[in-house]
Structures are given as structure tokens and as C-alpha cells.
Chain A
């Protein structure tokens, strides 16, 4: 079967760094997405990785290792507004999206 695993919940301190991991097993691979979702709102796009390596975009970076079926989202200089759920999704060989259940990130002052 196909599945995406990510931690259910993480807690971090304002100003610190946090890494949210995602492991996947899918039928084929056409890219991995990270989305941010605040409570009561729709998910918003953060990043897309299709090649191995690190993609940096401001305070957020995303890493992919296709051989390991592994990705992480790195958030630096955490702000209170970063409190949200972070969703990992993989596009399989049929261009269908397989979603993780999301990681709820709690930022403490």
C-alpha cells in the first residue's frame, strides 16, 4: 500500500529551529509537497521537491532523499504565526496525491 508518515505533533520555542520529518512509500514518485494549514483555513503551498537535495526559501527549507523515501521541512527563526499543521504529500506515478495526516506544530514563547 501507499503511505506517508509524519509526527502527529511537535512543540518548539519562538526563535528556535524545528525539523518536521516525512517518510513515504508510494507507487512511483513525481514529487513531494509541503503545505501549511492554519486552523480553519485551507492548506497553502510551501515547497515542492522532485530532485534530491535541499531547497531553501526564506526561513523555510525542504530536503528530499528519494533513495530513502524521506523528506524534512526545516523552519528557522520560528515565529508564533508558524503555529499550524504541516502537511506532507507525495505525487505518485499516476499523478495522484498521497497525503500525510499532518504535523501540528505548537510554538511557545
Chain B
């Protein structure tokens, strides 16, 4: 596709369930970022993948959060045993050189 694609666009889940969020970056983009944004707040960095280098996981808020990027392309963010405070929009972005493009986000609501 032409842009960064994220799925699902909306997800309502029960507290304690696991969720998987998917990001399809722009083809050829070597860098991929995951951010979280709560309503009215700034972007919270979660994890950064760059090519074949070890990912920067310093932003993951707890061990319930994990992410992988297969084949240098598609990435999956997994949240285990979801909590209500995990409710937010999860934004994926990919970049090549000087421009970072965001997907439309996955809006997660934990009830």
C-alpha cells in the first residue's frame, strides 16, 4: 500500500485479555516506531526497530508489552493481560531517511 497500515483500527477488549496490534510499514522503510497516545496527551515512545539492529525497547511500560518485526517489514505489538490504563491509541510510524509517516492508529479500549 501507499501508506502505513494498522489493524485493527478499533478494538474493545475485556480486562485481562491479550491483544495483538499489527503494523504494515511503507515498503522499503527500514525504521519502524510504536507510540502510544492517551486522549489529549503527547506521544509516548514504546519501541523502535531499525533494520537488522536490536530494537530499542526502552519505552515499553511493563513486561506485559512486547513487539516483534518479522522479516524487516510487518510488526506486531502484543499486550498481555490488558488493564484499563492500557486504553489509548497505538500509533505505528515508519521512516526512510528524513520523513516519518504515521498510520491511522489502533484505538484500544479495555473494559
Residues from chain A with Cβ under 8 Å of B56 in the complex = 94, 96
Instruction: Say yes or no: A97-B98 contact (C-beta < 8 A), given A42-B103, A42-B105.
Output: no
Least distance between B107 CB and chain A CB atoms (Å): 9
Residues from chain B with Cβ under 8 Å of A87 in the complex = 42-43
Which 8 pairs across A and B sit closest by C-beta, in order of nearness?
A101-B42, A42-B102, A99-B43, A48-B98, A43-B102, A42-B104, A42-B105, A102-B42
Interface residues, chain A, with chain B CB atoms under 8 Å away: 31, 33, 35, 41-45, 48, 50, 87, 94-97, 99-102
CA gap between A31 and B98 in the complex, in Å: 8
**B62-111 at interface with A (beta carbon < 8 Å):** 91, 98-105
15 chain-A/chain-B pairs, Cβ below 8 angstroms: A31-B98, A35-B102, A42-B102, A42-B103, A43-B91, A45-B100, A48-B98, A94-B56, A95-B31, A96-B48, A96-B56, A97-B33, A99-B42, A101-B41, A101-B42
Q: Is the interface of B mostly helix, strand, loop or mixed?
A: strand
Whether B27 sits at the interface, judged by CB under 8 Å, is: no
Q: Tell whether, in the assembled complex, residue A42 and residue B91 are in contact, meaning their CB atoms are under 8 Å apart.
A: yes
Residues from chain B with Cβ under 8 Å of A95 in the complex = 31, 50
